Structure 1
């Protein structure tokens, strides 16, 4: 179990939100557009990742992999982040924040489900009430940045209209349109701009152009040596 603490923003007010997460679900292959989905499948195939058995697909990972820290440790040089909207089921309502499905790409090439368990999953410290953004969900924008050559480089960007409706994803997991309390669900990502590649720092944001606000989070990646 992982305890997450957020600043919950709703109707101009801020409240403290604490949620004990017992189930971490990572929805994969969630693209609405078949062409874009196939592009993501092809970019992963380029690094040796086999296509999924079905789409969307729901991977499980240990809840304790979630972290709100600004630094993670990984084994070797083969991991990278990908930004995603994250739904969090609390006792009274559904919240949305931003997270990174940081993944070991070498392990992913032979076992996606195993790779989901290899790296910590950083998640933001700010959340919005889902009901406030659901009416304009498709207009929310995901972005991520990496460090390359000492510069901050745009790595991913796109509107949530490119991934499946969150209610559809919840229903596909639970046969119910309500995410259970204590569940965190990663909802999908955008293709990388250029090749999928590692970085020493990963920055991510969920941008709400309608209400004029953003959720941001960044973390540094410390690479540990692989000892034979």
Structure 2
């Protein structure tokens, strides 16, 4: 499979056709164990059982990767969460984008791996070379907002210093999978929400900001429930 993106460099931008064969989503990746517990507690309030071990890793169907500005979902209880995304061509060529692990929260209560397949992974249309941000990685900031009934709500925000850095994340993934880390997309896992609960809205926006180089990556998409018929 191949996804068409734009590689945004310090000095210029160029087209990037990134070929990939597999995709995985990590979870519970906070460096601070209290932050991990807070996120687990958030899910527990919604009836979603916590994992026996953290971090976690789930395989995701590669064709669910999208850059679309609109996504269709089944049901009213789906929402995104902001994550950084690693696009690994090989050990020497790695890109980073911002993404949303959009998930069916109702299905997640009983089957997390299946819940990861029913909604898309959305990614920014622009990415950076990981090498350009490695030396100031912890200063990067991710944030997400949700539009619900016309009101924009700040949903998540924090520095990447709060979650696993790319090297640690790749080492963790390598310890779990049975293939080399090549032509692979990794969703990093996320931060806890500022609202303390899921917000099921009609639009999701996410941003990855690099304050040192004065730039950002972003995505935005509308969430369209498939409510055009009655299913019995």
Pair in the same fold by TM > 0.5: yes
Q: How does 1:61-76 map to 2 (within 5 A)?
A: 61-76=60-75
- Contact kept in structure 1, 2:143 and 2:156, CA below 8 Å: yes
Map Cα deviations across residues 50-100 of structure 1 (whole Å, 9 max, x no partner). 111211111001000000111100001010000100000125610000110
Tell me how far apart the structure 1 counterparts of residues 109 and 77 of structure 2 sit (CA, whole Å): 11
- Contact kept in structure 1, 2:149 and 2:201, CA below 8 Å: no
Tell me how far apart the structure 2 counterparts of residues 150 and 23 of structure 1 sit (CA, whole Å): 36
Tell me how far apart the structure 1 counterparts of residues 52 and 19 of structure 2 sit (CA, whole Å): 31
Tell me how far apart the structure 2 counterparts of residues 4 and 182 of structure 1 sit (CA, whole Å): 11
Map Cα deviations across residues 15-72 of structure 1 (whole Å, 9 max, x no partner). 2111122111101110110111100000001111111121111100100000011110
Deviates more, 1:52-61 or 1:148-157: 148-157
Name the SS for the 1:197 alignment partner: coil
What corresponds to 1:125 in structure 2?
125
The answer for unaligned runs of 5 or more in structure 2 is none
Tell me how far apart the structure 2 counterparts of residues 89 and 174 of structure 1 sit (CA, whole Å): 12
Shift in Å, 1:180:
2.4
Tell me how far apart the structure 1 counterparts of residues 86 and 202 of structure 2 sit (CA, whole Å): 26
Q: How does 1:1-228 map to 2 (within 5 A)?
A: 1=1, 3-90=2-89, 93-175=93-175, 180-194=181-195, 195-225=197-227, 227-228=231-232
Map Cα deviations across residues 173-218 of structure 1 (whole Å, 9 max, x no partner). 1149xx7231100011111111112110000100001110000110
- Contact kept in structure 1, 2:148 and 2:203, CA below 8 Å: no
Deviates more, 1:4-13 or 1:42-51: 4-13
The answer for unaligned runs of 5 or more in structure 1 is none
Name the SS for the 2:117 alignment partner: coil
Tell me how far apart the structure 1 counterparts of residues 14 and 182 of structure 2 sit (CA, whole Å): 18
Q: What TM-score do you get using the length of structure 1 for normalisation? A: 0.95
Shift in Å, 1:151:
2.2
Tell me how far apart the structure 2 counterparts of residues 134 and 199 of structure 1 sit (CA, whole Å): 34
Name the SS for the 2:107 alignment partner: helix
Map Cα deviations across residues 117-168 of structure 1 (whole Å, 9 max, x no partner). 1101111100000011111111110011111331222111000001012111
Q: How many residues align?
A: 225
Cα RMSD of the aligned pairs, angstroms, is 1.5
